Chains A and B, each alone.
Chain A
């Protein structure tokens, strides 16, 4: 089973700043089957990025994903007030298994 580690655990930033979130896998992720989600309190997660770097439908272009193999990054170019939330990475393995990272909380500094 692939284990995902996210860092930092909490990121304290101000609106307008750039956020860089890291997701590291214990083994190489198959064909970049790596996704990122945003979750706000009391809401279901929302898909932001799939295939490591493709934005999901309706996601603003200030969100971007990059990486391959075992190291992946989610970047939020300029934080808007609505971007303060918890972000999870998720991988899909060749055997059909799925794992989520523990999450990074982006809060207001």
Chain B
């Protein structure tokens, strides 16, 4: 059964770089059947797509975040990661990783990890 699990620091200081990891079980991160994404949700607000990474390493990012975002894959650990630089309080959110098996829809989501930006 395919499962995703996010992990991260929980608290990051303003101007620092946040790093989150999504561990994948039940499927290979190298599979051509899927692509992988990050989505976030500020407290009490809606969903915001951050970016996606495809087999072969192609990445697509939300234009509003593109200058600060990097998504990468670690095949040795079967996981993918998100880095967001120069964070501010506006980046405080629950961060979800998710997988898509086609049609542009995210089939399976991790449980989410709360990240707070505060000094």
Number of interface residues of B (CB under 8 A): 24
13 pairs, CB–CB < 8 Å, chain A vs chain B: A35-B103, A35-B106, A44-B112, A45-B47, A45-B109, A46-B109, A47-B108, A50-B104, A56-B105, A92-B104, A98-B52, A98-B104, A102-B46
Give the 10 A-B residue pairs with the shortest CB-CB distance, closest first: A92-B104, A96-B60, A35-B105, A50-B105, A44-B109, A33-B104, A98-B49, A100-B47, A50-B103, A51-B103
Contacts of B108 in A (CB 8 A): 47
Place the interface of chain A in its size category.
20 to 34
Q: Is the CB of B105 within 8 A of A90?
A: yes
The answer for the CA separation of A62 and B93 in the assembled complex, in Å, is: 32
B43 nearest CB across to chain A (Å): 12
**Beyond A35-B103, A97-B49, A98-B49: 13 further Cβ-contacts under 8 Å?**
A33-B105, A35-B104, A37-B47, A39-B47, A44-B96, A45-B47, A47-B105, A51-B105, A90-B106, A92-B103, A96-B58, A98-B52, A100-B46
A21 nearest CB across to chain B (Å): 14
Contacts of A102 in B (CB 8 A): 46
Closest chain B residue to A45 by CB distance? B109
Which residues of chain B have a CB within 8 Å of any CB of chain A?
A: 37, 39, 46-49, 52, 54, 58, 60, 62-63, 96, 102-112
Interface centre among A35, A88, A92, A99 (most CB of B within 10 A): A92
